Amino acid sequence: MPAYRPEEIEKKWQAHWKTHKTFEVSNSSDKPKYYVLDMFPYPSGAGLHVGHPLGYIASDIVSRFKRLQGFNVLHPMGFDSFGLPAEQYAIQTGQHPEKTTRENIQRYIEQLSSLGFSYDWSREIRTSDARYYKWTQWIFLKLFNSWYNLETNRAESIRTLQDIFGEKGSAGVRAAGDTDERHDFTAGQWQMMTEKQRIDAVHPYRLAYQSDTYVNWCAVLGTVLSNDEVKDGLSERGGYPVERRLMPQWNLRITAYADRLLQGLDTIDWPEPVKEMQRNWIGRSVGAEVTFPLQNAPQQGIKVYTTRVDTIYGATFMVLAPEHELAAQLTTPEQKEAVDAYVLASKRRSERDRMADTKTVSGVFTGSYALNPVSGEPVPVWLADYVLAGYGTGAVMAVPSGDQRDYLFAKHFDLPIVAVTDAQQNLDQQADPTKEGHYINSELINGLAYKEATDKLIAWLEEHNLGKGKVNFRLRDAIFGRQRYWGEPLPIYYKEGLAYGVAEADLPIVLPEIDEYKPTETGEPPLGRAQDWKYRGKFDFELSTMPGWAGSSWYYLRYMDPHNDERFVGEEAEQYWQTVDLYMGGAEHATGHLLYSRFWYLFLKDLGLVSGNEPFQKLINQGMILGRSNFVYYLNLAWGTVSDEGVSDLQIPSIFISKDISERMSSGTFSLRDKEIVNDTIDLIFEKLKSQYTDRTIYRPETEFHTIPIHVDVTLVENDVINVERLKAWRPDFANATFICEPDGSFVCNWEVEKMSKSKHNVVNPDDLISRYGADALRLYEMFLGPLEQFKPWNTSGMSGVSSFLKKLWRLFHPEDGKLAVTDEAATPAELKALHKAIKKAQEDIERFSFNTSVSTFMIAVNELTALNCHKRAILEPLTVIISPYAPHLAEELWAELGHEPGSITNAQFPVFEEKYLEEASIDYPISFNGKMRGKMTFAAAAVAADIEKEVLASEIFEKFSEGKAAKKVIVVPGRMVNVVV
């Protein structure tokens, strides 16, 4: 038998699994179910790097382990295949995004398959497949045709709302949403309404509704961007200008579910930081909504929401978001120029930037005043971008004595700061938000404490119709539209200017073919380019598409029953699989995908379409694998010339300096010899330039050197020494470079651990490592790097260690890489002990998701069995099973060689740990005299202290080290040691 050859073994078993459909799973079984899910990837053109499979390997280990424990395991994979990158590529090249996406997916499937993952590929889904997004559109229609009844605390069909209107009118209807947008009418008036009037009256109650919303608009990309896609006022992709713009947008009323989303967090096994992020994002607060009448128009007012109504007497000014609907009305002619300039500047900053910038103080006075509703005092109205139009009412009552941001604003613009309690301190230095003490300067509540004062103020405001107590949420309704092509078409058409949902029988609404993938010349979304694209041939379709998170909000349900053409998931399949038992993915999705998925699931629960309470029972966030970047030092020289052209057209060869020389240069320990070498190099280049450019005078640079680090491709580097010839061929600007090397002729790079990224040239392709070491070695190494949840630096040189381990495991079956030499001899106690230690630890580690320590356990076990020269079936067979989740290809090969049916290790039984094999028959006791260890003696494990003492006193050790003295005392620590005091 030849030596262990992973390249042959792994391809063999991957083909076997595919041919025999080893991992396909049924929707019914006598076995208990277990659903393991990975966050499905977006298929980019770059393919996978070694950081991507980390979570996939971990989830695959759990899936294989659960099968060995007798579970019916669902472990699917698919692709989140709608997205802006493919569309941008289409705009640049004219190539349809579907073609690019299809090619990228094929590349991903090849890479994922090469790692030996036990996916049920028969259940693969792609969110851009019309057979899939038919059901995404169907769920949207359900949202469009539902409202949230606060009386029943669930979503209901819009028909039940219409029935209430027909019977009672709008009075008394308690529905989630903004009451200010709704009309009041009687049952009789409802009966008299036209179809158009009824639709218009119902629209503000829908869970999917259209309204004017402030969005991040990128004119160059021609689309709305999420906050995550905007940084410093520019689009993350392309760096194009982004501005805040009020546009009609589709929204989903996630705010209706805010309380339930909060409560559900207490029922799921998720990392506490993720749950806390969601709690903060939802942001439940108890306070009051208060109206500040306008001084010049008391019938109008500015509504604010505050959690500290007790401080209202300290509200010395008001701050509105620059986008506030009253901003223009409140701006006086004298302030118009300043206000317009400020509003324009604010449009160029994303909400995230505005919230994050706590240091900059900016604002502009509108010129108008409101009235403090309890004191009647006029308060100036300002605009400032630290207030957001979409949060709360878009206006705040500013209390500088109690809020630090208000305090800084007041100090900057010289506005009054009024103390409101006798416990506030150091108001000349900072705000003091204390709730302690008693109120002062607050006529209605002077002398009261916090709770009493708050209750009294709310009662007074409600009595005078100037406010009310209210529970508020930071969470805002989710914008559900993008002005782009490559996304799910919204199943909406327009008749007489009103939005209607298409008939469910007409789904899917398929993306039409268009000539270009950018907005029309008149500014419409790309779908505006579609020719004759109308609903039933006569009604205009909605031209926006759904956001990227639409398809990912329910994909875990479709995996349960992916080929069902009659239902988004069959009832039996859903009731069998219920919810995801283990979800593996990145923490960066905490307030996006994970929150939206929970929202959609709760909605489907209200409609009686799913049977669980939460979609994902346990969540694990895998850490990031960091790249080990390499960089070379470029010598930055200031060449000079006398001519009209300057130096920009000079073809000056770059000079790069090896690491040690560069470090001496920067640390001030640059030796004379170093300086001579660098100067000689510069002189050679100087002479060449003079002979090359005879039409101008060239000046040699000064000898004040400094270097600039430049990232280079890590594949050109081994042990931090770069292959200079390969580097020259890597990039054209390196081709004619000069390299100043170390005395031994090597060129040494520096290194740094940072995020793995193409821009840093530190991406490691798993294909290369699989080709060199094998997929099993890569799987083991990624787990061995450290705890799953932690960030870990990558170092390819570590791969050789796990590769050696696998070869050592192979040799337990094939000594000296010879033929199979497994025997049926009975196992010895030492061999059984080594095995059962590994069984116990492997099971415990997988159950607590501590995969790195399992790999160490396997290495120890193989080393111990190698030392024992063990080649026995009774040991090696169960050892193969416990290692199989980690190194499935090698385990399959060894299992078949042991005489089992090929591929059957998947359905083997995980070995049962037996404590008895770890019990020691005897124990070696260190024997000390007056605290100094002098030797060892072996006693039966069951020996009692009296017997041990007797044998020690009669032993040769005692005779030798007691120096003829009698023992004063013998201390026996059972199972540990003996100390004789003489």
Residues 598 and 635 in one domain: no
CATH number of the domain residue 836 falls in? 1.10.730.10
pLDDT, average across residues 235-252: 83
Whether residues 888 and 932 fall in one domain: no
Q: Is the confidence at residue 638, as pLDDT, over 80?
A: no
Sheet with 498-501: list strands edge to edge: 498-501, 492-495, 539-541, 534-535
CATH of the domain at 953: 3.10.20.590
**Last-in-domain residue among 594, 625, 656:** 625
In the prediction, which pLDDT does 677 show? 87
Question: Does residue 885 sit in the same domain as residue 928?
Answer: no
Neighbours of 442 (CB within 10 A): 23
Q: Are residues 744 and 652 in the same domain?
A: yes
**Other beta carbons within 10 Å of 5:** 11
Please tell me the predicted confidence (pLDDT) of residue 87: 85
Average pLDDT, the chain: 92
**329/438 same-domain check:** yes
pLDDT reported for residue 142: 98
Confidence of residue 130 (pLDDT cuts 50, 70, 90): very high
Q: Contact at 8 Å (CB) between 418 and 434? A: no
- Could you tell me if residue 855 is inside a domain? yes
Which two three-digit tokens encode residue 121? 């590929």
Alpha carbon distance 70, 907 (integer Å): 8
Burial status of residue 130 (CB atoms within 10 A of its CB: 0-12, 13-18, 19 or more)? middle
The crossing angle, in degrees rounded to 10, of helices 829-847 and 851-867 is 170
Helix (H, G, I), strand (E, B) or coil at 369: strand
Other residues' Cβ atoms within 10 Å of the Cβ of residue 652: 15
Q: Quick one: 583 and 632 in the same domain?
A: no
Phi, psi (deg, nearest 5) at residue 417? -125, 115
Let me know: does 489 contact 510? Beta carbons within 8 Å: yes
CA 840, distance to chain mean position in Å, is 33
Nearest to 382 by CA among 309, 332, 420: 332
For the chain, the C-alpha Rg in angstroms (whole number) is 36
Q: Average pLDDT of 825-830?
A: 94
Cα torsion 324, 329, 332, 336 to 10°: value is: 60
Q: Please state the rounded mean pLDDT for residues 607-625.
A: 96
**Which residues touch 732 (CB under 8 Å, ≥6 apart)?**
none
Within a domain: 212: no
Residues sharing a CB contact under 8 Å with residue 427, sequence separation 6 or more, in sequence order? 401, 417, 419
**Do residues 742 and 721 lie in contact, with contact meaning Cβ atoms separated by under 8 Å?**
no
Cβ neighbors of 868 (< 8 A, separation 6 or more) are: 828, 830, 831, 834
% the chain with pLDDT above 90: 74
Residues 673 and 554 in one domain: no
pLDDT at 651 over 80: no
CB-CB contact of 822 with 96 (8 Å): no
**Rounded to whole angstroms, how far apart are CA atoms 891 and 905?**
8
Q: Is residue 650 part of a domain?
A: yes
Please name the amino acid found at residue 369. Y
Instruction: Say if 144 falls within a structural domain.
Output: no
> Are 889 and 928 within one domain?
no
Task: Look at residue 642 and tell me whether its pLDDT is greater than 70.
Answer: no
Distance, in Å, from the CA atom of 411 to the CA atom of 433, rounded to the nearest integer, reads: 17
User: Best-predicted range by mean pLDDT among 44-53, 212-221, 748-757, 878-887?
Assistant: 878-887
Rounded Cα gap, residues 66 and 843, in angstroms? 10
Same domain, 296 and 408: yes
Residue 113 belongs to domain spanning: 6-138+549-625
Give tens-digit pLDDT for 450-498: 999 999 999 999 999 999 999 989 899 999 998 889 999 999 999 999 9
Sign of the CA dihedral 818, 819, 825, 830? positive
pLDDT confidence band for 919 (50 / 70 / 90): confident
Q: What is the pTM of this model?
A: 0.84
Tell me the CATH number at 349.
Answer: 3.90.740.10
Residue 646: predicted pLDDT: 52
Indicate if 635 and 586 belong to the same structural domain: no
CATH number at residue 560: 3.40.50.620
Nearest Cα neighbor of 700 from 646, 742, 640, 649 is 640
In a domain, 274, yes or no: no
Give the domain-ending residue among 599, 625, 651: 625
Query: Mean pLDDT lowest for which of 71-85, 220-234, 286-300, 350-364?
Result: 220-234
pLDDT value, residue 359: 78
Kindly state the DSSP code that residue 869 receives in the 8-state scheme. Answer: T
pLDDT at 18: 97
Tell me: pLDDT of 381 over 80.
yes
Residue 228 has a pLDDT of: 66
Q: Please say if the pLDDT value at position 649 is more than 70.
A: no
For residue 99 the two structure tokens come to 């073609």
Strand blocks (E) in 333-442: 364-371, 378-383, 395-398
Task: Evaluate if residue 644 carries a pLDDT over 70.
Answer: no
Task: Please give the pLDDT value at position 291.
Answer: 96
What total number of domains does the chain contain?
5
Q: Looking at the structure, do residues 18 and 42 belong to the same domain, yes or no?
A: yes
The first and second tokens of residue 464, run together, are: 């005078």
Q: What is the dihedral of CA 835, 817, 881, 828, to 10 degrees?
A: -30
Q: What is the pLDDT of residue 650?
A: 67
Q: Is residue 118 part of a domain?
A: yes
Q: C-alpha angle with apex 217: 520 to 386, nearest 5 degrees?
A: 165
Query: Is residue 758 annotated as involved in ligand binding?
Result: yes
Q: pLDDT tens digit string along 772-783?
A: 999 999 999 999
Which residues, 6 or more positions from 950, have their beta carbon under 8 angstroms from its beta carbon?
A: none
Q: Is residue 767 part of a domain?
A: no
Name the nearest CA neighbour of 208 among 141, 154, 126: 141
Helix (H) or strand (E) holding 304: strand 297-306
Q: Does some domain include residue 178?
A: no
The pLDDT value recorded for residue 392 is 76
pLDDT at 76 over 70: yes
**What is the pLDDT, as a whole number, of residue 450?**
96
Same domain assignment for residues 428 and 300: yes
pLDDT at 639 over 60: yes
Q: Which of 886, 908, 930 is the last residue of a domain?
A: 908
User: Is beta strand 655-657 parallel, antiparallel or unpaired with respect to 625-636?
Assistant: antiparallel
